[in-house]
Amino acid sequence: MKEVKITLTLDELNLIFKALGNEPFRDVYELIGKLNEQTNAQLSEE
C-alpha cells in the first residue's frame, strides 16, 4: 500500500486521537499505535 506523509500540529493530532477514541478499539488500535510511534519518534528528534 502506498504511504503518504501528513503534517499536523499537536492539537490537530490530539483531535484525531480523540475521534479515534470514539471508535471500537479493535478497529483502530493499529492506527493509534502507528500514529503514536511516528509522533514519539519525531518529538524525540527535537
Quote the mean pLDDT of the chain: 95
Domain limits, the chain: 10-45
Is the per-residue pLDDT at 46 higher than 80?
Answer: no
Q: How far apart are CA 13 and CA 36, in angstroms?
A: 10
Cα dihedral sign, 27-30-34-36:
positive
Asked whether 8 and 16 are in contact (CB, 8 A), the reply is yes
pLDDT for 45 equals: 84
Cβ neighbours of residue 32 closer than 8 Å, sequence gap 6 or more? 17, 20
pTM (two decimals): 0.82
pLDDT for 7 equals: 94
pLDDT for 25 equals: 96
Spatial CA neighbour of 20 closest among 38, 3, 36, 43? 36
Encode pLDDT of 6-26 as tens digits. 999 999 999 999 999 999 999
